[in-house]
Amino acid sequence: MFLNLRRKYYFPESVIGRLFIDEHFECYTLEDVERGTKVLGKTAIPRGTYTVILDYSNRFKRIMPHILEVPGFTGIRIHPGNTAEDTEGCILVGSAKGEGVIYNSRIAFNRLLAKMEMAEGLSETIIILIEKEEMENAQRDDESDSIGN
């Protein structure tokens, strides 16, 4: 399974992106802002390609997506949440977005987790590419965002 997180909307405390599964729009994301120097609990993970596994989170007391081998970070998860206050470097997901906020995060998370569990059940490796969205593609893709693929 190939996940592509394209960071697109930048705010003072957060960045909202769009998450695609195999080039199909899945949901919106919210992360802390990108910084040149890491600020504990307030910095988005570096752009790049990472492996994602599903494993048990002691914090959330359930199986969660875990992003591996992020330089300078540990315990990075994809999980529900709505604002920068809900993340400490993790990726939040939601089915709608507003000004520095995402909505319906539990619904979006459960839908995404089910797809990831299916991929894992088929022994697929889950990879996530995190990048800044190019404006040319962003304008064209805005018209094709539709939740519920």
Tell me: the pLDDT tens digits for 116-146? Answer: 999 999 999 999 999 999 865 544 455 456 5
CB 6 within 8 A of CB 138: yes
pLDDT at 12 over 80: yes
Has residue 54 been placed in a domain?
A: yes
Has residue 10 been placed in a domain?
A: yes
pLDDT at 35 over 80: yes
In this prediction, residue 142 carries a pLDDT of 53
What count of other Cβ atoms lies within 10 Å of the Cβ of residue 21?
18
DSSP state of 134: P
In this prediction, residue 148 carries a pLDDT of 46
pLDDT at 82 over 90: yes
Has residue 149 been placed in a domain?
A: no
Number of domains composing the chain: 1
Domain span at residue 26? Answer: 2-142
Residue 131 β-bridge partners: 6
pLDDT at 149 over 50: no
